[in-house]
A and B are shown apart, each in its own frame.
Chain A
């Protein structure tokens, strides 16, 4: 059981919008620790998608956006494309564990 909770799977048709939630607690996201999001395409290395809660590294399409509120964060993919079919992970820091933590991951399927 991950400290950060993500839905195991989501799906959407091409062009649609999907939103992935990452629910934490008062010792991690709710304590103000920043959230990152990683994309792992099938059979590949995870890639940094979002940092500092809302920021995209250069090269990441603006179809990807993120937000944070209270003890949760979310990643939105608008205009879903086939190439977005991947596993997505959130990551933050937990002050009780004094450690970095990952969410369990969400598999996004493009229908």
Chain B
């Protein structure tokens, strides 16, 4: 069973860039799609975007201007960068394998990391 682990700073200052990495173990990052999802404290889930193992990306329209998701197949990792953060970006950030786009019927988010809380504060 594939396992995912998020890593990165737990505290980011307003206006700076949030950077997280998801390391995939127990399986290859190829040939799958990988998504980032976030959940503000006490609120619901929000899909941020995905990266395909080839590097193709797709982002939520509401975050598209500030987000970059990239993949490093040599390290079996993918990463999230969110620029110009504000307190509204405070959330638990999850990485997940996304089988919605490559299976029939679409499987969905079938493996998740444990999540990491990122707080935006000065």
Footprint of B on A, CB under 8 Å?
2, 34, 36, 38, 40, 45-48, 51-53, 55, 57, 87, 89, 91, 93, 97-105
User: How many chain B residues touch A (Cβ–Cβ < 8 Å)?
Assistant: 25
Kindly state the separation between the CA atoms of A100 and B113 in the bound complex, as whole angstroms.
Answer: 19
User: Which residues does chain B contribute within 8 Å of A57, judged by CB atoms?
Assistant: 107, 110
Contacts of A53 in B (CB 8 A): 105
Known: A99-B58, A102-B44, A105-B44. A45 touches B112 (CB 8 A): yes
Q: A36 CA to B47 CA in the complex, in Å? A: 13
How many A-B pairs have beta carbons closer than 8 Å: the answer is 74
What residue in chain B is nearest A89 (Cβ atoms)? B45
| A93 with B45, Cβ < 8 A, contacts A34-B105, A48-B108, A99-B59 known | no
Q: Given A38-B45, A89-B44, verify A100-B100 contact (CB < 8 Å).
A: yes
Q: Is B26 an interface residue (CB 8 A)?
A: no
Top 3 A-B pairs ranked by shortest CB distance?
Answer: A52-B105, A36-B108, A105-B44
CB B50 to nearest CB in A, in angstroms, measures 8
Give, as a whole number of angstroms, the nearest-CB distance from A25 to chain B.
16
Interface residue B35 (Cβ < 8 Å from any Cβ of A): yes
A29 CA / B94 CA spacing, docked (Å) = 25
Minimal beta-carbon separation of A4 from chain B (angstroms): 10
Residues from 68 to 122 in B contacting A, C-beta threshold 8 Å: 94, 98-100, 105-110, 112-115
Q: List 21 A-B contacts (CB under 8 A).
A: A36-B107, A36-B108, A38-B108, A38-B109, A40-B45, A45-B114, A46-B94, A46-B112, A51-B99, A51-B106, A51-B107, A52-B107, A57-B107, A57-B110, A91-B108, A98-B58, A99-B58, A100-B35, A102-B45, A102-B47, A105-B44
Residue B25 at the chain A interface, CB threshold 8 Å? no
Distance in Å: Cβ of A32 to nearest Cβ of chain B: 11
Do B47 and A46 have beta carbons less than 8 Å apart? no
Interface residue? B16 (CB, 8 A): no
Q: How far is the CB of A92 from chain B (nearest CB, A)?
A: 9
Given contacts A45-B94, A46-B45, 10 further A-B contacts (CB under 8 A): A2-B44, A36-B107, A38-B109, A45-B112, A45-B114, A51-B107, A89-B45, A91-B47, A93-B100, A105-B44
